[in-house]
Amino acid sequence: MGYKIVVVGATGNVGREMLNILDERQFPVDEIAVLASRKSLGTEVSFGDKTLTTKDLDTFDFTGWDIALFAVGSEATKIYAPKSAAAGCVVIDNSSLYRYDPDVPLVVPEVNPEAVLGYSKKNIIANPNCSTAQMVVALKPLHDRARIKRVVVSTYQSVSGSGKEGIDELWDQTKSIYNPTDDKPAKKFTKQIAFNVIPHIDVFMEDGSTKEEWKMVVETKKIIDPKIKVTATCVRVPVFVGHSEAINIEFEDHLDEDEARDILREAPGIMVIDKREDGGYVSPVECVGDYATFISRIRQDSTIDNGLNLWCVSDNLRKGAALNAVQIAETLGTRVLKKG
């Protein structure tokens, strides 16, 4: 017997990617339901060689289903995730709604797989923010070796992190720049995104940081170690898919760059591409469609004791969202549900 799986928000970028990854990884699916809001009702989506028609989220009965992968915003999740959980269907939520709830585990399977065991308190597991997910995959094996004191991270986040509207705005603005009569003012973003970078993701907070930056701080502490100090600057860049991060790490103990490179090469979910030559590193265009978190530019930071710099790139629709959610489902299945 396999699993009865529900994908909520199946017509969106992340929902469609969840369906692709469930098929690619041959997740043991006995039956699958794809749900959408009423405005998308009846839309067809692909699952392997099958074509599925979306059902109405508002009237769906989660009773008898095993796992629901949620790829909708916090408002819809607030309504429907508790219904799924109460019906005995475990929710794996991609929104930010439950990430900071102490009774809901926040899981990256390469980092804290044992945390899935805490799902039973609310029948809900949270998926971290896209920029956090790839960073903690890189940090955890290094933390295990030399204990991280502080992380300074600057992100270069693609427009797909803001959904289809962000992708469309970059596409339309890029075309309009070459056509002076076709002006495309910023709508999804606060400033022009084509041929520009915007140091602003999510809302501003009282201390001057943005919510995206706050998420990286709080989630890293919850997933790896509350003692780690994190400061982040999150920037939107004119890239369609793939988030990049420049990460500076200060350790309690000395960690040589060569040993760090070896540790990362052996770590789950990581691919090290680090040659000190032209093109000997990974850029976001090259990571699209891949499962791995790519690490490049590993080098000592001589300005502090026990410091390293590295460059981290990953497909944000995969490891930052859909892939991590499916990996959580796999971990839950292996450790708890044990079907398939």
Residues labelled catalytic: 130, 243
Where do runs of H (alpha helix) occur along 31-100?
74-86
First to last CA, the chain: 5
Q: Cite the annotated binding site by residue number.
A: 11-14, 39-40, 99, 157, 160-161, 180, 236, 316
Q: How far apart are CA 236 and CA 213, in angstroms?
A: 12
Q: What six digits make up the tokens of 68?
A: 């629901």
Reduced DSSP (H G I as helix, E B as strand, rest coil) percent helix, strand, coil of the chain, to 5: 35, 25, 40
Q: How far is CA 267 from the centre of its chain?
A: 18
Give the burial string for 102-112 (b: 16+ CB within 10 Å, else e): eebbbbbbbbb
Q: Tell me how crowded residue 225 is: count the other CB atoms within 10 A of its CB.
A: 13
Q: How far apart are CA 128 and CA 132, in angstroms?
A: 6
Dihedral angle of Cα 36, 37, 39, 45, to the nearest 10 degrees: 0
**C-beta separation of 335 from 293 below 8 A:** no
Name the maximum alpha-carbon separation found in the chain. Answer: 60
**C-beta separation of 291 from 318 below 8 A:** yes
Residue linked to tokens 């102490």: 102
- Three-state SS string across 232-244, please? EEEEECCCCCCEE
